[in-house]
Structure 1
């Protein structure tokens, strides 16, 4: 091969590599100058179809954190009844993380890399139990394994602890098995867990539209048992359109600048 051809080949390879890198960067970059990150934790799933309809209608992609919670259909949020719904979310371009399988709350750290926990669901629901760091990792992975079984797709290497309750030791344990925690912004707490009499939908919507800032991670649920005035879709749709009117766009957590490098390094 002549020297000229070698130089031309090297230049072409460089251009191709640059184009590939640029496309990868563009794929993971936020969609606009004012992104927010809408996330949902599982719940009783009663509003799940309505949530999906609103997201699809406004071309919004969201991030879902999955636990196997009791549902209004008499089953659980990761049972075969809901598998088609999760497959449809994959097809719509949403992304997913673990919420632990039995919605396990951290209570306190114990010596020897152990944790006192309380699951809300499963065979030990409501009982305090002690988990090792590895057992907590196994709990995170159970949701990921069930999700792959339902959809054939992998979750992101992200999780959200139920109630957002963590400790440095718990976060270290999760990171040791490839999971990074996702919390939420103060203004991003959308209030669907709050009592309806004190926090009606109109108040929650007004507060969110006034306080949310670019880059905020927002949190809601696919149904809260205790709320009498359903938050979705009554608040969800005007929240989306209201933020869009203010120049915001909605991005998934794989586009978040604080998580992109972690995801790239730990994606299954």
Structure 2
């Protein structure tokens, strides 16, 4: 069901070699999988800069979301950004094209959904499994147009909300769902007054364990004090100091190539 391109195996080898060099040449204490969902894109450039600075590869889940530029994150204007991330060796999955929220399962494998963007934004609709699959694949089609490269066969439901029907639909069209660990919730969608960045950072550094998937966004409209500028770099350096390495979900045991 899950097939990766040849470069995936090469990248996995290189990432494994790089990981072994972390913490002064000692073996990794464990691997953390950083993932980023599209959002307002206000932190897109900063995230790329920090990842490059620290030689960390991450996994990006893409939807065509409205950005602070006034366009959408999968518009042609974003092609240079995504091409650069491809060249850097990051991994990419679908976040549904119009950031479609699941509402409830219906009979016959159908489901009730509510797109956040696109022509049907805000309208509750009943979809078949094939329609849901097509929505996941729309991201791959656009991403290939923008970068010349297909997505990895992974996806993430908006809000992390899945169901028996959405999981069955995605599996039938070749995509495995990637959520996140409880300790991997960045909290960047919460109020910065109630959950200051230092509190979120301290919690992540305290609770993350080897094998955990960490999730943050590339910008959140509602958060007054953005998470990434204050937290991403100290999170990476703090985890490295604790002996952790980083990899994309191509190397995660639940998603990596099966021999």
* Length-normalised TM-score, structure 1: 0.87
Q: What is the deviation of 1:33? A: 4.2
| Residue 91 (structure 1) aligned with residue 87 (structure 2) | yes
| Partner Cα distance (2:123, 2:101) in 1 | 11
SS in 2 for 1:138: helix
Alignment map for 1:222-233 (pairs within 5 Å): 222-233=218-229
Q: What is the deviation of 1:258? A: 1.4
SS in 1 for 2:230: coil
Show the counterpart of 1:122: 118
Show the counterpart of 2:155: 159
Show the counterpart of 2:131: 135
**Contact 1:190-1:208 within 8 A present in 2 as well:** yes
| Partner Cα distance (2:148, 2:73) in 1 | 17
Show the counterpart of 1:234: 230
Change (3 A) 1:241 1:128: same
**Contact 2:188-2:227 within 8 A present in 1 as well:** yes
| Partner Cα distance (1:25, 1:103) in 2 | 29
| Partner Cα distance (1:24, 1:153) in 2 | 15
Change (3 A) 1:23 1:119: closer
| Residue 255 (structure 1) aligned with residue 232 (structure 2) | no
Show the counterpart of 1:203: 199
Show the counterpart of 2:100: 104
SS in 2 for 1:233: helix
**Contact 1:28-1:254 within 8 A present in 2 as well:** no
Q: What is the deviation of 1:80? A: 1.5
| Partner Cα distance (2:184, 2:252) in 1 | 15
Show the counterpart of 1:46: 42
Greater Rg, structure 1 or structure 2?
1
| Residue 215 (structure 1) aligned with residue 214 (structure 2) | no
SS in 2 for 1:260: coil
Query: RMSD of aligned C-alpha atoms?
Result: 1.7
| Partner Cα distance (2:71, 2:245) in 1 | 35
Q: What is the deviation of 1:154? A: 1.0
Show the counterpart of 1:9: none
* Length-normalised TM-score, structure 2: 0.90
| Residue 168 (structure 1) aligned with residue 164 (structure 2) | yes
Unpaired runs of at least 5, structure 1: 1-21
Q: What is the deviation of 1:175? A: 0.3
